[in-house]
Structure 1
Amino acid sequence: MSTDFDAAEIDDSNPGPRCPGVLLLDTSGSMDGERIKALKVLAQIGPRQPLALNGLAFREMFQWLSTSMRTVSRAEVDAEVPLQTPIGWAKA
């Protein structure tokens, strides 16, 4: 699947600062060996523990992500921002 980004319309009616993000999801089930070791390193250096997706709860996860990004983008620089607890999309 390819997308012609040159032909995409840009909505610039809300020109405030933005915080771009990238989310990479591995749904192949191949997280073993070196890959799981890398995830453990992420758990050690990240501000919170990595979370596993609960089934196919992508909608809930992206709603949480959108709310979190909105909260962070409105915060003052270097402010500590409390995020919502992931409920409904993350495995405990």
Structure 2
Amino acid sequence: MGLALYLSIVGVGSFLSGFLISMIENITGKDGHESWFCDNINKAHLDYFYLLLAGLSVLGFTLFIYFSKSYVYNRKGIIIE
């Protein structure tokens, strides 16, 4: 069961990663411009991609902190008003 859940998470992560890369490729490659993932490494902007990943990680961490701080633990049988 644990292995199935682990492989499901890896599969969903790979799907989301591919979706993110294809979206960035389509958005940044419009109007004849070279995308962030062009074949020429000197013209590619992988630094922008890693900056985007860092920003998404900070956003996820911020949401985690917000939701973990706002969580209220209730024991069964005790009603808090």
TM-score normalised per structure 2: 0.30
- Point out which structure has higher relative CO (alpha carbons under 8 A, 6+ apart): 1
Q: Give the greater-gyration-radius structure (CA).
A: 2
Normalising by structure 1, report the TM-score.
0.27
